[in-house]
Structure 1
């Protein structure tokens, strides 16, 4: 082992020791559940008692995409993109089994189980609590979420589970291509709505903001820094500067998202809780379908984890935009897609924890 490798190993051990003591980034990671809860509460309080803040931020929205949230997500994704090179992308594209798990789960299973689970709870279990017409609108919103797999936040979940960054990029690109032709017929089939259309401005803006820009920035940053200062500096010094950026960005995103919806949460606490039940069950179910499928096929953990995360997570910007276009801003469908936003981060963090604790299930 070279001296450089020994030094790198010592640095890793020291960082691990500091994390175990609860210092620095380790402190945030160790108590992440508490910070998430505090950020949710803070966001709701800001939305209710300081509505001028989310109202101001809401002015910076284009095609249903919040630019402030997009910037925070970009900051979370950028460190991951720094680790990608073109060789790894070519290799990731050869992971046919991984892509089969992703595509099969997202497009052949997820939309239909979302419909079935949501129908069962909203129109059967909760039929004495939610009026039938409103329950059908909530079901429509749930279906829109189920037919739109994640584009942006999956990079964050992949990062937190130490997923293969190149594979995550490839699977997002493949999903976006399938979404162009698969979203409309699936939604039309499940909802019986014929005038569904994909809001291309939302889709294209999301792809540019959450995939193209961070990838290009990461690629050129990586290339220039390695050329000027070498690979050792890049991996052991430059990348270390971004420790904590993903977690801090995630927490700030939570505050903003819940600030946007603070008043709705206060005004509709029961219905929001009821809508959250099938969405949460569906999220866990889809995660384990893809995760265990990957395990059966003996895929490595860094492929299995992001492969399961992209199906469990949703492209909520697209779902919200379509819900508003089809059913109106104040519809039950729009509210259901908003609940999808509220449920996503806490539930996905739970799945991240599960994925990290079950890493030993997969061959190294």
Structure 2
């Protein structure tokens, strides 16, 4: 990883501070960005999300899926955690905390919004940042690519129905057209664009060279999006820090709980560490770019749902780095390749 990537936590922190400063000192600029919408899709955020997602989608090689037959257990753990456990456990934790534990301190309308944001986080497994976590744990890059590829295929057809189901269970009105539009815009189209780009470049060397050139777009898009979101939510964050802490509680429980479940299952199934670590980290991490974008599309830039997904961004990097450290310290306990 480059020095810039290794210092990602610092850049995200600076983006948060910059966003808060802009939101406080130049609220007109923030509102101008907020007003740039077409069909409930914020154009500025859409461009930045594409900048984050597209470079990763170019790396997705569906031809590599055949390689999973050599070691299916890691993929089994990933898919079970991502699609049969994680969305529902996150919804359960959100309802438990916001409808019951934190009910005395949070308005019911706000609680419903925070629940919606956490549901969006839980239903969107990591797609982009997992390549960073895999590299930090010396994971199998090809196998990680297979896991991401299969996840993306499932996400295309499963994300919208799962979100709609869980939002419906929590009595939140689901604007289906906007949800489907956001899924197509932020998952399907980048995936198609990445596939077409791979075909146009043809050779692996050309693909590697191209992705190396556009890779900085992902980091720039992430940092700019974080700055914008914190600018929009700056007043709430500064005036209600307790709310941020409350939202972080179920996210932290979910993150460490899901990692323990996935990592423990991989250990029990004797999955080699080079596959076990990334498969657990994929389940733990979130595709927060998609969650943020859909929250904005469904509920608005200034909504509680968008704020909850932003707190997901705030929690994500330090949590994942702590789990990367744990995975590296326990490498010797796993089966040898």
Give the TM-score band, short-chain normalised: 0.7 to 0.9
Distance apart, 1:205 and its partner CA: 1.6
Contact preservation (8 Å) 1:157, 1:348 = no
Distance apart, 1:286 and its partner CA: 2.4
CA–CA distance in structure 2, aligned partners of residues 128 and 139 of structure 1: 15
Is 1:294 the counterpart of 2:270? The answer is no
* Aligned ranges 1:1-364 → 2 under 5 Å: 25-26=2-3, 28-92=4-68, 96-131=72-107, 133-134=108-109, 136-138=111-113, 140-142=115-117, 144-145=119-120, 148-150=123-125, 154-162=127-135, 163=141, 164-188=144-168, 190-192=169-171, 197=176, 199-221=179-201, 223=202, 226=203, 235=208, 240-242=212-214, 244-297=216-269, 298=271, 301-302=274-275, 304-305=277-278, 308-310=281-283, 312-313=285-286, 314=288, 315-316=290-291, 317-323=293-299, 334-335=303-304, 337-357=305-325, 358-359=327-328, 360=331, 363-364=336-337
Instruction: Go from structure 1 to structure 2 and tell me whether the alpha carbon gap of 1:307 and 1:170 turns closer, same or farther (over 3 Å shift).
Output: farther
- What is the aligned partner in structure 1 of residue 138 from structure 2? none
- What is the aligned partner in structure 2 of residue 3 from structure 1? none
CA–CA distance in structure 1, aligned partners of residues 42 and 275 of structure 2: 30
Q: Which piece of structure 1 moves more, 64-73 or 164-173?
A: 64-73
TM-score of the aligned structures, taking structure 1 as reference length = 0.71
SS in structure 2 at match of 1:279: helix
Distance apart, 1:69 and its partner CA: 3.3
Distance apart, 1:54 and its partner CA: 2.7
CA–CA distance in structure 2, aligned partners of residues 192 and 118 of structure 1: 13
Contact preservation (8 Å) 1:80, 1:159 = no
Contact preservation (8 Å) 1:39, 1:252 = yes
Instruction: Go from structure 1 to structure 2 and tell me whether the alpha carbon gap of 1:287 and 1:69 turns closer, same or farther (over 3 Å shift).
Output: farther
Q: Which piece of structure 1 moves more, 66-75 or 45-54?
A: 66-75
Distance apart, 1:90 and its partner CA: 3.5
Say how many residue pairs are matched: 320
For structure 2, the residue ranges without an aligned partner over 5 or more in a row are: 136-140
Contact preservation (8 Å) 1:157, 1:306 = no
CA–CA distance in structure 1, aligned partners of residues 21 and 116 of structure 2: 26
Over alpha carbons, which structure has the higher Rg?
Answer: 1
RMSD: 3.6
Contact preservation (8 Å) 1:48, 1:262 = yes
**For 1:45-74, what per-residue CA distance to the aligned partner results, in whole angstroms no more than 9, with x for missing partners?**
112212233333334444554443343343
Distance apart, 1:41 and its partner CA: 0.5
CA–CA distance in structure 2, aligned partners of residues 264 and 35 of structure 1: 22
Distance apart, 1:127 and its partner CA: 4.0
**For 1:175-199, what per-residue CA distance to the aligned partner results, in whole angstroms no more than 9, with x for missing partners?**
33223443333433x4256877463
Instruction: Go from structure 1 to structure 2 and tell me whether the alpha carbon gap of 1:239 and 1:135 turns closer, same or farther (over 3 Å shift).
Output: closer
For structure 1, the residue ranges without an aligned partner over 5 or more in a row are: 1-18, 20-24
